Amino acid sequence: MVPNYHQQQISKGSIPSIPYAWPYDGELVPGKTALLVIDMQTDFCGKSGYVDRMGYDLFTTARAIEPIRRLLDVVRSIPGFTVIYTREGHRPDLSDLPDNKRWRSRQIGAEIGSEGRAGRILVRGEPGWQIVPELMPLPDETIVDKPGKGGFYATSLDMILKNRGITHLILTGITTDVGVQTTMREANDRGYECLILEDCTGATDINNHVAALNMVTMQGGVFGAVSSSDKLIGTLLRLQLEPSSHERTGEFI
């Protein structure tokens, strides 16, 4: 049986989550935590982009924009809290685009690399490849460009996290069942403690979104835990009002 929030022992520095209060080691430490904003690009959640061209309802992916924006406002106010963005896209010459990926996209009427109303689909530098304006990264925030679904494959994400002493990841973005869950699985295998935020993610099919979140909670949290932006923000505000034990001992930054 998966426990509900009310059955958990929640400390000041932990987030009510399913199936366990996150993080497993008891307290969120901003200096050891990164917020990942995954693939919030026009191609995936904006008009005239890749997902729009495939004919999906944009609400199912764009729903994540406003909760992520609110969360960023809070996270950016906390010293030492790392924010990292990812963007999926391919080189203009498509030399890093696998043949089967290109073939699949052609079958659904949105061939990667072809011209669309937001420029060439999923090609670096094109309008559709850009992060949506509502969530534009700050100049000092890292952007990891990736050719595949996961944030770790063929990127320097793992090195960036390790160099900064990051051990805990909070995942947001789209799509829940593809880019976000692939990144979460990759991170879990590398030993990162992961939390995914339900309202800060979205998929082209709501059933896939729900299924992806349910997979996370299997076996006591096989890939991590699931929570919401409101619950995370509540914990962050408590930590700001009352410094954590880690902050008092110099581990905050």
126 within 8 A of 119, measured Cβ to Cβ? yes
CATH of 11-243, one of 3.40.50.850, 2.30.30.100, 3.30.1330.20, 3.40.50.300: 3.40.50.850
Please tell me the distance from the alpha carbon of residue 109 to that of residue 81, in angstroms, as a whole number.
Answer: 41
Q: What is the pLDDT, as a whole number, of residue 248?
A: 47
Q: What is the pLDDT, as a whole number, of residue 246?
A: 52
- Paired tokens of 150: 């996961």
Output the DSSP codes for the chain. Answer: ----GGGS---TT-B--BSSPBSTTS---GGGEEEEEE--BHHHHSTTSHHHHHT--THHHHTTHHHHHHHHHHHTTSTT-EEEEEEE-B-TT-TTS-HHHHHHHHHTT--TTSEEBTEETTBTTSGGGSBPGGGPPPTTSEEEEESSSSSSTTSSHHHHHHHTT--EEEEEEE-IIIIIHHHHHHHHHTT-EEEEEEEEEE-SSHHHHHHHHHHHHHHHHSS-EEE-HHHHHHHHHHHHHS--HHHHTT---
Please tell me the distance from the alpha carbon of residue 87 to that of residue 128, in angstroms, as a whole number.
Answer: 11
Please tell me the distance from the alpha carbon of residue 2 to that of residue 160, in angstroms, as a whole number.
Answer: 34
Q: What is the pLDDT, as a whole number, of residue 230?
A: 98
Size of the chain, expressed as the number of residues it contains: 253
Q: What is the pLDDT, as a whole number, of residue 5?
A: 52
Q: What is the pLDDT along the chain (253 residues), one digit of tens a residue?
A: 344 554 566 778 999 999 999 999 999 999 999 999 999 999 999 999 999 999 999 999 999 999 999 999 999 999 999 999 999 999 999 999 999 999 999 999 999 999 999 999 999 999 999 999 999 999 999 999 999 999 999 999 999 999 999 999 999 999 999 999 999 999 999 999 999 999 999 999 999 999 999 999 999 999 999 999 999 999 999 988 876 555 444 443 3
Domain spans of the chain, in order of start = 11-243
Tell me how crowded residue 99 is: count the other CB atoms within 10 A of its CB: 8
